[in-house]
Amino acid sequence: MKKINCSVLILAQNSEAHIQRCLDSLKRFKEVVVIDGGSTDKTKEFCFMYENVKFIENPWPGFIEQRNFSISKASFDWCFMIDSDEAATDELVDEIGLIVTENRDQFAIYNIMRTEYFLGEKIRGKFGGSEWQLRLFIRNRIKYTGGVHHEHLIDGEPESKASNKISSLDSKYRILHDNLYGLEEWTKKLPRFALLRAEEKLEKNPKKKVYAFDVFLTFIGTFFKTYSKSMPDKRIGVIIAFKTAINRTLAKLIMYEHQNIGFHKSIKNRHRHLG
């Protein structure tokens, strides 16, 4: 089996539940770089089972910083970013192999379609459904910036100003999110996601005041807005609307605490201790 000259980049932390599914789908790549932010489970042990995996421990510095750190550890010009709870289809791996072999560098970065699941079912609604994500890129032309909703700098420019350097693979080439993803998995991630969202909002608008009524309205508004887009998913759509509202409300509550109570002068490092 000919190996693909591409570095796969993965951020991991307490990922034992799904890291093997991810790594099994990446065996054809010459290098898979796993950056671990401080796992206390069997993530490291599982990674050592794969000969193409390079496991690096780097205490969690923040989402964007960890993404950029992973790029700095890549050995090949082409990089493919994938999450530990995702898997690449064989068809996608084939297509990446062709792009890398032919060195299609007229584009700096490629969009890949990700299929979303909830409780074993594909999400069909307009919110949380399958979406394009920038994942395959040339290492020295890309840098991550922003917060939880990260953006890319392409040759030093924001992606919004470099659309001519972005392409998309056919939607039949897919990344598959955790097909067993449900409330249990989401609940484990909620603290980190809420803290990251709050941090991003505070950094972008440090002078914008958050009031208690804003927290309440966030829940109501987010629920109905999300459910209006998730109705095709029926009962799962209700769950998606509730969990999205909870996530955004918790982030707003963290912002309220930060601004009005002041128990913590900075929230930036709190998520380091979360699994």
**3-class SS of residue 68:** helix
pLDDT score of 168: 97
User: What are the tens digits of pLDDT across the range 129-180?
Assistant: 678 999 999 999 999 987 655 789 999 999 999 999 999 999 999 999 987 7
User: Can you spell out the DSSP letters for the chain?
Assistant: -PPEEEEEEEEESS-TTTHHHHHHTTTTEEEEEEEES---SSHHHHHTT-TTEEEEE-----HHHHHHHHHHT--SSEEEE--TTEEE-HHHHHHHHHHHHHT-TTSSEEEEEEE-EETTEE--SSSSSSEEEEEEEEGGGEEEESSSS-EEEETTEEGGG-GGGEEE--TTSEEEE-TT--HHHHHHHHHHHHHHHHHHHHHH-TT----HHHHHHHHHHHHHHHHHHHGGGHHHHHHHHHHHHHHHHHHHHHHHHHHHT-S-S--TTGGGG--
pLDDT of residue 148: 57
Instruction: State how far the Cα of 142 lies from the Cα of 93, in Å rounded to an integer.
Output: 21
Residues in the chain where the model's pLDDT stays below 50: 272-275
Q: Provide the whole-model pTM.
A: 0.79
**What is the predicted pLDDT for the residue at 121?**
76
Q: Which CATH architecture has domain 4-177?
A: Alpha-Beta Complex (3.90)
- Per-domain residue ranges of the chain: 4-177, 183-273
- At 194, list the tokens: 């809420």
